Structure 1
Amino acid sequence: MFQERYDTYDIMEVCLIAGKIMLQSGAETYRVEDTMMRIAASYGRSRSHSYVTPTGIIFSIEGDEPTKTKLIRIMDRTTDLKKVVLVNNVSREISRGELTVDQATSKLKEIQEGNWMFSFPVQLLAAAVSSGCFTIMFQGMWQDFLPAVAAGGIGFWSFVRVHKHIPIKFFAEAIASFIIGVIAFLFVYFSIGHELDKIIIGSVMPLVPGLLITNAVRDLMAGHLVSGLSKGAEAFLTAFAIGAGIAVVLSLLN
């Protein structure tokens, strides 16, 4: 435990940077709150309170002086579990008394500004290969493996490109799933693929919000009803967008 008396606002900055990185990178709400309060306690502020939602963080520290409170807004969220792991490591180092406030702030800002995600070609390759594997997993034919790889890869590429121009995930996912449905139909129409449904199911799996659904359930079980319901609603909208895109293709074909 640190013996030096740090300024409350400096401690709050460390906690808020850590919480912001974790929340933007896909961490669960209860994990973000627990990490922030543990960091504050490690710096001698045991009476801290945090309230986290998917779009904002409110953090306050009680002490001898009047209670200080800060609010930060979360605009963008993605999935980068590497950053969550790195922040957890910094939190453990702080708990062991190995980092001062300035050192922790510097490390966290380095994590925040760093790009730890895989390159786009690697993500594209992973989405394509996983689409084929999901098709086989759902009892599809091996002849449909390559069509699913192509449809899933093009669909993921479309999602990323459309999302850059239209920063609304609902439309990007709907357009990507529509493209997947068209490509899958063309493969079956030209007898390159055989089972349309299995190719579509496997190809849309990289777009499915699996982490959101998992975090929504875990937050609800931990008693974070607001965060759990909002993440569940976001996951529902994503699933609806995917289903809408495929439904449009199938309705046009019929």
Structure 2
Amino acid sequence: MKEQSQRINEIIDVCLLAGDIMLKSGAETYRVEDTMTRIAAAFDDRASQCFVMPTGIIFSIDGTDPTKLIRVSERSTDLQKVADVNHVSRKISSGELSLKEAYLQLKAIEKAELTYSIWQRILSASIASGCFLIMFKGGWFDFLPACVAGGLGFAGLVYFHRLIQLKFFAEFLASLIIGVLAVGLTHFGLGHEMDKIIIGSVMPLVPGLLITNAIRDLMAGHLVSGLSKGAEAFLTAFAIGMGIAFAFAL
């Protein structure tokens, strides 16, 4: 009985670890619940119950075993980790991994630094800003100003997010930097179309993944998660708009 209880606890730990990695890496709520349920079913024939929110996970296996809760305080975007956890889940379902092997592989995924370096992300945001400007029918003369404004704005987002834990203020200050740079560059003749420069530069800040996940969660019936992610996306969009408006006011 004691060994069975210990095994159930180990299964719950593996499921919670998988769900924690996926939720922190930007996976949809229904995908997290489905992965956890499949892992539990592969190791034990009893039904499992899980409830996932953007800020926490509750999981239990039917019986007398305790329910466990973990809190998720920080979330980012790392879809490679989501794909890796899905790969481990498939191997578990096919019987290729034992409980201990699955736990060790998930721990390795959790500790792995799969995201690009800060400078690579800033450079990518810079180039993307210029490309978005061209996509929105801006002129090639404004390509470099958009790259400068977008890159410095994204760098400001990274810096201010480390300095201030509230995302709203980091996004507000980053968009403020973009607005001031766009106004300044056009004022000194280094840019022509200020509106196109601003639109292209703020695109790396737009919460596209949040909006997509919110819609997919709502369509899957996860109303709490869908509405909360939608509210978070709205606050981000509001912060970006407020930053640009404040730059115009200055």
- Look up the match of 1:149: 147
Q: 2:80 aligns with which of 82, 86, 89?
A: 82
Please identify, of 218-227 and 37-46, the stretch whose mean Cα deviation from structure 2 is larger.
37-46
Give how far 1:186 is off: 1.1
Distance 1:112 1:19 in 2: 11
- The answer as to 2:245 corresponding to 1:250 is no
Segments of structure 2 that go 5 or more residues without pairing to the other structure are none
Q: Does the aligned pair in 2 maintain the 1:57–1:72 contact within 8 Å?
A: yes
Give how far 1:44 is off: 2.0
Where in structure 2 are the equivalents of 1:1-254 lying within 5 Å?
7-63=7-63, 66-252=64-250
Distance 1:17 1:45 in 2: 20
Give how far 1:67 is off: 4.0
Segments of structure 1 that go 5 or more residues without pairing to the other structure are none
Distance 2:162 2:43 in 1: 41
Give how far 1:251 is off: 2.1
| Over 3 Å off, 4+ runs | none
SS of residue matched to 2:67 = strand
SS of residue matched to 1:97 = coil
Task: Give the TM-score, by structure 2 length.
Answer: 0.97
- Cα deviation, 1:20-49, whole Å, max 9, x if unaligned, reads 000000000000000000000001234001
- Please tell me the residue identity of whatever aligns with 2:22: M
Q: Does the aligned pair in 2 maintain the 1:162–1:172 contact within 8 Å?
A: yes
SS of residue matched to 2:44 = coil
Task: Name the % identity.
Answer: 62
Task: Give the TM-score, by structure 1 length.
Answer: 0.95
Distance 1:151 1:45 in 2: 56
Aligned residue pairs: how many?
247
